[in-house]
């Protein structure tokens, strides 16, 4: 997907919130940067963030801190920690215009090797009152989507539904990545690792270790390299 010489857009979606989408996005960006690619990172909508002192760290700042990529683009920001559509509605701010977002992303693609687009929440979270989702945007741009999931209880159903939704919309899946693999996996996590491969239709596209977001840049690059498959720039699964 991000091999040298290729251009394209890759969407990073998830099975829900808190599964590690931003860390996976940062890992992809770090690997692309290390390979000498021109990479841009887009956050369609940042919710639950207030401007000014005391605000939470936006996802793009995390990407820059971990990956060293400064070509970042936040298309909308809302103060309440809700879905993008609900956050826009309760704040009285304009909702995300996905048609305009598609044009913006297409413009970035013309001068970058890779454009990573991170969604909010899961694949079918609404961005505006028309019901538009990141799946609609991915389909409109004919771009693949990488699914980030957890290893914990409940992940199998959430992942299966997400993969099925991609297939129903004829969106190419770039694979399934576990965003945070615990240091001490239990029976649930170990069993889910095998079951997630069945749902994904083959080997996972990666497994990132728990706590990767707290690492310094060189150590994070090492985790990204070990945690993602070769087509995404890493070595995971390589014999």
CA 126/CA 133 separation, integer angstroms: 5
Parallel, antiparallel, or unpaired for β 206-209 and 173-181? parallel
Kindly give, in sequence order, each residue whose CB lies less than 8 Å from that of residue 88, ignoring residues fewer than 6 positions away: 76, 78, 94, 95, 96, 128
Q: How many CB atoms lie within 10 A of CB 238?
A: 8
Active site residue 43: yes
The 8-class DSSP code of residue 150 comes to: -
Kindly give, in sequence order, each residue whose CB lies less than 8 Å from that of residue 131, ignoring residues fewer than 6 positions away: none
CA 124/CA 17 separation, integer angstroms: 12
Annotated catalytic residue: which of 43, 77, 126, 158?
43
Positions marked catalytic = 43
């Amino acid at each position: 997907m991000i091999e040298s010489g290729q251009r394209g857009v890759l969407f990073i979606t998830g099975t829900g919130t808190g599964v590690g989408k931003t860390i996976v996005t940062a890992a992809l960006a770090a690997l692309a940067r290390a390979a000498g690619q021109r990479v841009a990172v887009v956050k369609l909508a940042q919710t639950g963030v207030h401007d000014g002192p005391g605000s939470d760290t936006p996802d793009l700042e995390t990407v820059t801190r971990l990956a060293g990529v400064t070509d970042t683009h936040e298309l909308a920001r809302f103060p309440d920690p809700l879905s993008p559509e609900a956050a826009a509605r309760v704040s009285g701010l304009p909702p995300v215009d996905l048609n305009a977002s598609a044009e913006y992303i297409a413009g970035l693609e013309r001068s970058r090797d890779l454009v990573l687009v991170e969604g909010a929440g899961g694949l079918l979270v609404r961005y505006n009152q028309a019901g538009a989702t990141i799946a609609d945007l991915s389909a409109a741009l004919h771009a693949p989507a990488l699914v980030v999931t957890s290893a914990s209880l409940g992940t199998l159903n959430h992942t299966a539904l997400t993969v099925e939704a991609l297939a129903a919309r004829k969106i190419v899946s770039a694979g399934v990545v576990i965003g945070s693999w615990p240091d001490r996996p239990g029976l649930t996590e170990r069993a889910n690792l095998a079951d997630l491969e069945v749902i994904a239709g083959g080997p996972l596209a990666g497994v990132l270790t728990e706590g990767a977001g707290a690492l310094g840049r060189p150590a994070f690059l090492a985790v990204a390299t070990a945690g993602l498959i070769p087509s995404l720039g890493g070595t995971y699964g390589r014999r």
